[in-house]
Amino acid sequence: MPETINIDALKADEASLRARYQKFKNMGLRLDMTRGKPAPEQLDLANDMINILSAKDYKDINGVDCRNYGGLDGLAEAKKLFADFLEVNTDEIIIGGNASLNIMHDIIVRAITHGTCDSDTPWGKLNKIKFLCPAPGYDRHFAICEHFGIEMITIGLEDNGDPKMDEVQKLVANDDSIKGMWFVPKYGNPTGLSVSDATVDKLASMPTAAKDFRIMWDNAYTVHHLNDNHDKIKNLLEACKANGNDNRAFIIGSTSKVSFAGAGVSMVGCSQANIAWLKSHLSIQTIGPDKLNQLRHIKFFKNMDGIKAHMQKHAAIIKPKFEKVLEILENELGKKNIAKWSNPNGGYFINFDVPNNCAKKVVAMASEAGVKLTGAGATFPYKKDPNDCNIRIAPTLPSITEIAQAMEIVAICVQIAAIENL
């Protein structure tokens, strides 16, 4: 990736690098840096939520019996709390089940089977539909597109992590088969970067050939700061409304990495027309979400201040892990002009770019030495990284000792792969 690699210096180290690699290989390590899973210590922070309800504590503030059927779009208190969380109005939110992925998946499905509230035709009845996929991005977004035969157009990123907007604007203006776009706008997956105001404005205002164009704004890391000086992003839904494109934005979030991954609460924020559209489909699919789990979240967090204070505890656990990754990379690779990496202000990932045509080799070599990394290419549509250079580092789950070992191995692999590729 970087322009000039100091080949001679690298080659001088080759014997030592191979010896270190072999030493690690002989250790039979089993380290996992693949997925953005919270560490047990992070999950411990919310343990008191597990039994926060007593056996008689099943009604919400309005007297709703959370044990029984009903309440398609969530408890009023949950809507209030998570409207603050997503930065939308309380009539612009629906509370879902335990997974925001499910919400996103089902929005795409409904557009395919029925069309959006602005579609003339269900997407599934059209010859071809396409989505813009800024990449590197989140593999599960791309998996949804691939599963439903939605053609993905890879959009490159600027250095600040924003999608290349000239390209985006040109494509959506001229091709009405482009129906949407994925993006993780804050502390992006895997870039760790947050979208600029200018790009939000362009996304909200750009003319699109498809009148039912949708932005799947996966705000998964909205409160997941690593430092006190938080990133702030412009509100896409408000910007869309200001530009008369009210229905363009679906803002999606969850507490998977706030309370419990797998037993959290998910939510979607959007225009009232989109809310009505979602409800018309939801009412066929379910009688309602798990309100007891919503009640647990309400009692535990109380309000946004509660969530913010809780996230500081997360940061205290995971920030040293991010720092350890950066420290090892700096120590091993810092002066070698061989790779570059992000220094995120929040989120769950460090973006790591190795020399072109080396990412697959690095992942394979690391695996042989007992370090599992996210598959090379996973962050791109169809798992195809055009430069084979991007690796996603997920530091939250392993311990700091494991991270130090794993990253040393990865750094060694990068150097050996670079030498072999030269």
Residues that bind its own copies (CB under 8 A): 35, 37-38, 40, 43, 46-48, 50-51, 53-58, 65-71, 97-99, 101-102, 105-106, 109, 112-113, 124, 140, 143-144, 147-148, 256, 260-263, 281, 284-293
Instruction: Pick the closer one to its own copies by CB: 75 or 411.
Output: 75
Instruction: Pick the closer one to its own copies by CB: 150 or 409.
Output: 150
Distance in Å, CB of 362 to its own copies, minimum: 25
Rounded Cα gap, residues 410 and 408, in angstroms: 5
Distance in Å, CB of 7 to its own copies, minimum: 42
Instruction: Pick the closer one to its own copies by CB: 119 or 342.
Output: 119
Distance in Å, CB of 69 to its own copies, minimum: 4
Instruction: Pick the closer one to its own copies by CB: 156 or 262.
Output: 262
Residues 6+ apart with CB under 8 A from 293: 98, 263, 265
Report the amino acid identity of residue 49. Answer: M
CA atoms within 13 A on the CB side of 401: 2
Instruction: Pick the closer one to its own copies by CB: 50 or 61.
Output: 50
Strand spans (E) along 70-228: 93-95, 130-134, 151-155, 178-183, 214-218
Instruction: Pick the closer one to its own copies by CB: 20 or 310.
Output: 310
Secondary structure element (H or E) that encloses residue 24, with its range: helix 14-26
Strand spans (E) along 106-264: 130-134, 151-155, 178-183, 214-218, 249-254
The SS3 call for residue 187 is: coil
Instruction: Pick the closer one to its own copies by CB: 29 or 109.
Output: 109
Distance in Å, CB of 210 to its own copies, minimum: 20
What radius of gyration do the chain's Cα atoms show? 22
**Burial of residue 246 (number of CB atoms within 10 Å: 0-12, 13-18, 19+):** middle
Distance in Å, CB of 313 to its own copies, minimum: 15
Q: Which residues pair with 371 in a beta bridge?
A: 31
Q: Which two tokens stand for residue 251?
A: 């803002």
Report the amino acid identity of residue 412. Answer: I
Rounded Cα gap, residues 370 and 50, in angstroms: 35
How would you classify the pairing of strands 151-155 and 130-134? parallel
Report the amino acid identity of residue 76. Answer: A
The SS3 call for residue 159 is: coil
Distance in Å, CB of 14 to its own copies, minimum: 39
Distance in Å, CB of 114 to its own copies, minimum: 8
CA distances from 361 to 263, 336, 373, 391 (A): 36, 19, 12, 11
Distance in Å, CB of 43 to its own copies, minimum: 4
Rounded Cα gap, residues 173 and 208, in angstroms: 4
Distance in Å, CB of 255 to its own copies, minimum: 12
Residue 149: phi and psi, rounded to 5, are 70, 25
Q: Which residue has the tokens 């001088």?
A: 12
Instruction: Pick the closer one to its own copies by CB: 261 or 376.
Output: 261
Instruction: Pick the closer one to its own copies by CB: 113 or 303.
Output: 113
Instruction: Pick the closer one to its own copies by CB: 36 or 269.
Output: 36
For residue 190, is the peptide bond before it cis, meaning its omega torsion is within 30 degrees of 0? yes
Q: SS3 string of 132-147?
A: EEECCCCHHHHHHHHH
Distance in Å, CB of 104 to its own copies, minimum: 9
